[in-house]
């Protein structure tokens, strides 16, 4: 596996592969890799001749400095995991390489960027869009793979690709879960032993609420879900919402939205966790 740190050498190498007629898959990450990330590499391996990855903890997408400071970093283990998974190239730039000048780009994703994560993490999606656009310019992928755990991010990336006319296919990949249902996340390593034990409550509550889809109103499901979290001292709920799966606007009329998404964000101690499931009516 080739490891690069400079934009120019990365693009030159990938360009040579593309000139030779090979298709390039790309998995952008912030490191602290777990099985969820590796499943994206494996998916890319199935469909592309060359698999590339990036590891860059993008400072401009963190709206909370302590989250940035405590974001787990496991670079040696990450490189080993990527090598074992059959990744061909990993790009590991520093901040200066990605942002040599102050960032001025401002994206407008309309209604999609102001709800859920966008409402609770101001500036987050602009930071994601800026870095992903730059990474796409450097990695020139034919296909890029994103996990559905960050469901709103996936929709933002799709909107970015449309808006900037970027010739890349975005491939959504299913959430990978621990045996007890907890969605895999790099932030899970920051949970205490006790927090880790109670964390599956999030997915269990989502599943129970999704089962209510055919028998209860939206309002009943949402109030039930909110009550579960509010009655559980371990968690501090930010949102528990049912949204359409295109612009993530709140669903009011069940009949109009057969396929919606049930999304949650909650603090467990000092760790903010998100998760989502499909809900059908």
- Alpha-carbon distances, residue 115 vs 208, 211, 225 (angstroms): 24, 24, 18
Min CB(122)–ligand PAF separation in Å: 16
Query: Which residues in the 37-66 window bind ligand PAF by CB under 6 A?
Result: 58, 61
Calculated CA dihedral for residues 62, 65, 71, 73, nearest 10 degrees:
100
Q: Is 222 in the site for ligand PAF (CB under 6 A)?
A: no
Q: CA-CA distance, 131 to 115, in Å (whole number)?
A: 21
The count of chain residues that interact with ligand PAF, using the rule CB under 6 A, is 10
For tokens 């949204």, the residue is 243
Please report the sign of the dihedral spanned by the C-alpha atoms of residue 119, residue 120, residue 122, residue 127: negative
- Alpha-carbon distances, residue 142 vs 90, 109, 133, 136 (angstroms): 16, 23, 14, 10
Min CB(233)–ligand PAF separation in Å: 30
Query: Which residues in the 228-267 window bind ligand PAF by CB under 6 A?
Result: none
Binding mask 135-174 for ligand PAF (x = CB under 6 A): ---------------x--x---------------------
Out of 32, 129, 131, 279, the only residue in the binding site for ligand PAF (CB under 6 A) is: 131
Q: Is 132 in the site for ligand PAF (CB under 6 A)?
A: yes
Q: Is 128 in the site for ligand PAF (CB under 6 A)?
A: yes
The window from 25-33, 79-87, 222-230, 247-255 that contacts ligand PAF (CB under 6 A) reads 25-33
Tokens of 155: 């929709």
Look up 124 and say whether it is catalytic. Answer: no
Q: Is 29 in the site for ligand PAF (CB under 6 A)?
A: yes
Out of 10, 14, 28, 240, the only residue in the binding site for ligand PAF (CB under 6 A) is: 28
**Can you spell out the DSSP letters for 4-45?**
E--HHHHHHHHHHHHHTT--EEEEEE-S---HHHHHHHHHHH
Which spans of this chain sit near ligand PAF (rule: CB under 6 A)? Answer: 28-30, 58, 61, 128, 131-132, 150, 153
Residues annotated as part of the active site? 37
């Amino acid at each position: 596996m080739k490891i690069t740190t400079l934009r120019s050498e990365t693009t030159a190498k990938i360009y040579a592969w593309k000139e030779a007629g090979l298709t390039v898959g790309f998995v952008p990450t912030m490191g602290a890799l777990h099985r969820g990330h590796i499943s994206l590499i494996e998916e890319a391996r199935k469909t592309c001749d060359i698999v590339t990855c990036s590891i860059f903890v993008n400072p401009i997408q963190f709206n909370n400095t302590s989250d940035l400071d405590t974001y787990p970093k496991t670079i040696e283990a990450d490189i080993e995991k990527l090598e074992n998974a059959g990744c061909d190239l990993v790009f590991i730039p520093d901040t200066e390489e990605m942002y040599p000048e102050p960032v001025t780009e401002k994206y407008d994703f309309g209604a999609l960027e102001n709800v859920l994560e966008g409402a609770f993490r101001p500036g987050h999606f602009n930071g994601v869009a800026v870095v992903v656009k730059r990474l796409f310019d450097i990695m020139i992928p034919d296909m890029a793979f994103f996990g559905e755990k960050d469901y709103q991010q996936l929709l933002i990336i799709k909107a970015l690709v449309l808006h900037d006319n970027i010739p890349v296919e975005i491939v959504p990949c299913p959430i990978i879960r621990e045996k007890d249902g907890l969605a895999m996340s790099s932030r899970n390593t920051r949970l205490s032993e006790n927090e880790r034990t109670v964390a599956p409550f999030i997915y269990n509550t989502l599943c129970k609420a999704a089962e209510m889809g055919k028998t209860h109103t939206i309002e009943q499901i949402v109030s039930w879900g909110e009550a579960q979290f509010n009655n559980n001292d371990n968690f501090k709920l930010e949102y528990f919402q049912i949204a359409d799966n295109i612009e993530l606007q709140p669903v009011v009329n069940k009949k109009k939205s057969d396929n919606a998404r049930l999304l949650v964000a909650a603090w467990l101690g000092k760790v903010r966790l998100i998760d989502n499931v499909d809900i059908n009516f």
